[in-house]
Structure 1
């Protein structure tokens, strides 16, 4: 098991010998993300191919009478039966004396905003890498995908001191985000203010049709009022990556010893049915409930284990290989 010295949670698992090794070796030490490994993920993001234009409606060239996410006004034409009355161009209708309908087209540059949760629970891991490193790698994949899609990319975390990374396009924008992810996930920041503060900042930056990717621990997301997600998903494409660890989802049926503080040790017998049931309710049960809650409000929620390929979440949101 990996655990950062001085972190708030450390654990030792007495697993049975002969367990299979991790499916993917870490590019770095798995404890601290490096800029080199995040830059190297650009090739992996490119291999995924472009997101299909029809899945989001953001790359259509011809004007449409349907106003979707990320759409801006293009022109008006005469009204025909069946057109949406909400899109009537009232000014032109009044001026010409004949009803007209507004047409819309895709915005040229969309914003992809990466929001990083920096709760202490993320700086922990038992397989391949810390959850914090996996968050940084997933955020890097998102930044490189945004560049491939022609988006501007920005990033922020919940802090009253650290300013957001301003939106920029191309490799320059992605590298700014990668540099911030390396700094934020090197160690738990002292000024972490939580996801609610981060989402308050995000709302001020987002425009209708933006893409929002949230990298977070499930407990952090659970603390956000449910009503917030509906509002975000109404105007934006929202994806929440819930970072998990194999120990949380499937603990060994053995004694687990946790160092909760220097000199303080907690032991849990995971072979005991009652203890194992409480553990599963706390982790896997919470994850299932949280995923269902978010999906019901229009948010794509994906669990990403720290031992999974860092780009596995793209398949779950329909952005697989072209």
Structure 2
């Protein structure tokens, strides 16, 4: 839906420079660590975030103070000497960030376009992962194309990912609409399934427009062997339309202009928008992996901090 209004107050597009500057804001604790109680990732959903793995290092002689749970009883019986298994923490975990820049994301009513909010959230998560020691890559997609950035642990790779996001973001124009591809989200998830075999972190930043039962199945397949985090970008105007104004609703290449001054028209459109939002929300909740929501009406960083339970501690 496009709102016919003056966009001068909107932060319409982003740039690579702007996304790179978010590095300072992206110095947040690793999202794989223990979540605080107030976090939306804590409790039942938070338990699906596996955290960093431990890789087997070697068998060595038991020393006083070692955890007896690490005793290798089979090797101990074989050698007659108490042996324990030692581990090293996995510090190089691939993180894939899927950033939606489809035409449905070219909408905003207050502060940010959905596409720009998604770009900022994707950049913040990329910097969090980078400073946690992860390899960072991703898939940036519009209605027709998918740009793939292979995960590597380097600042240049993060810069390449953010450059692709900014490029796709700035290519969004009302006057140059690409044909909408309702299967594109499924196509992106299928490509991710082929690339992310196991033990990766996959963050999907999207409004999840076009989500279906097949999409849900692909998400569940991804979450079987990977950590999946869904970040749903939404605009509050879709939940409560103004009493005046003209909007153009676009769906499957059809465009209809509606006058919100007519109460019956406004109510029907509000019901439609709220129903679509609830359907997406219900699908994501059924997926049983962490799911957070980011509004375009507020700055992205405070929302992400709050969602992850990372608000600054009160002063002593």
Question: TM-score surpassing 0.5?
Answer: yes
Q: Are the counterparts in 2 of residues 255 and 271 from structure 1 also a CA contact under 8 Å? A: no
Task: Please state how far the C-alpha of 1:317 moved relative to its aligned partner.
Answer: 3.4
| Distance (whole Å) between structure 1 residues aligned to residue 215 and residue 84 of structure 2 | 38
Q: Which residue of 1 aligns with 2:41?
A: none
Q: Are the counterparts in 1 of residues 234 and 296 from structure 2 also a CA contact under 8 Å? A: yes
- Aligned: 1:283 with 2:265: no
| Distance (whole Å) between structure 2 residues aligned to residue 251 and residue 296 of structure 1 | 28
| Distance (whole Å) between structure 1 residues aligned to residue 287 and residue 237 of structure 2 | 29
Task: Please state how far the C-alpha of 1:129 moved relative to its aligned partner.
Answer: 2.3
Q: How many residues align?
A: 283
Q: Which residue of 2 aligns with 1:239?
A: 229
Q: Which residue of 2 aligns with 1:317?
A: 308
121, 126, 131: which is aligned to 1:143?
Answer: 126
Query: Residues 307 and 198 from structure 1, CA distance in 2 versus in 1: closer, same or farther, beyond 3 angstroms?
Result: same
CA deviations on 1:11-64 (whole Å, 9 max, x unpaired) are 2269xxxxxxxxxx98xx622211121112111222x444473349xxxxxxxx
Task: Please state how far the C-alpha of 1:69 moved relative to its aligned partner.
Answer: 5.8
| Distance (whole Å) between structure 2 residues aligned to residue 177 and residue 164 of structure 1 | 8
- Aligned: 1:230 with 2:214: no
Query: Residues 52 and 165 from structure 1, CA distance in 2 versus in 1: closer, same or farther, beyond 3 angstroms?
Result: closer
CA deviations on 1:111-153 (whole Å, 9 max, x unpaired) are 1111122321111222122111111111111111111211111
Q: Which residue of 1 aligns with 2:40?
A: none
TM normalised by structure 1 equals 0.71
| Distance (whole Å) between structure 2 residues aligned to residue 280 and residue 152 of structure 1 | 42
Q: Which residue of 2 aligns with 1:71?
A: 53
Give the SS at the match of 1:199. helix
Task: Please state how far the C-alpha of 1:281 moved relative to its aligned partner.
Answer: 3.4
Q: Are the counterparts in 1 of residues 55 and 87 from structure 2 also a CA contact under 8 Å? A: yes
Q: Which residue of 1 aligns with 2:14?
A: 33
Q: Are the counterparts in 1 of residues 13 and 170 from structure 2 also a CA contact under 8 Å? A: yes
48, 51, 54: which is aligned to 2:34?
Answer: 54
Q: CA-atom RMSD, angstroms? A: 4.0
Task: Please state how far the C-alpha of 1:224 moved relative to its aligned partner.
Answer: 4.4
| Distance (whole Å) between structure 2 residues aligned to residue 95 and residue 166 of structure 1 | 44
| Distance (whole Å) between structure 2 residues aligned to residue 259 and residue 129 of structure 1 | 19
| Distance (whole Å) between structure 2 residues aligned to residue 208 and residue 319 of structure 1 | 27
| Distance (whole Å) between structure 1 residues aligned to residue 162 and residue 132 of structure 2 | 17
Q: Which residue of 2 aligns with 1:10?
A: 2
Task: Please state how far the C-alpha of 1:293 moved relative to its aligned partner.
Answer: 2.9
Query: Residues 317 and 292 from structure 1, CA distance in 2 versus in 1: closer, same or farther, beyond 3 angstroms?
Result: farther
Q: Which residue of 2 aligns with 1:129?
A: 112
- Aligned: 1:269 with 2:260: yes
Query: Residues 201 and 36 from structure 1, CA distance in 2 versus in 1: closer, same or farther, beyond 3 angstroms?
Result: same
Task: Please state how far the C-alpha of 1:213 moved relative to its aligned partner.
Answer: 1.1
- Aligned: 1:297 with 2:287: yes
Q: Which residue of 2 aligns with 1:114?
A: 97
Task: Please state how far the C-alpha of 1:178 moved relative to its aligned partner.
Answer: 0.7
Name structure 1 gaps, 5 residues minimum: 1-8, 15-24, 57-67, 78-82, 84-88
TM normalised by structure 2 equals 0.72
Query: Residues 106 and 204 from structure 1, CA distance in 2 versus in 1: closer, same or farther, beyond 3 angstroms?
Result: farther
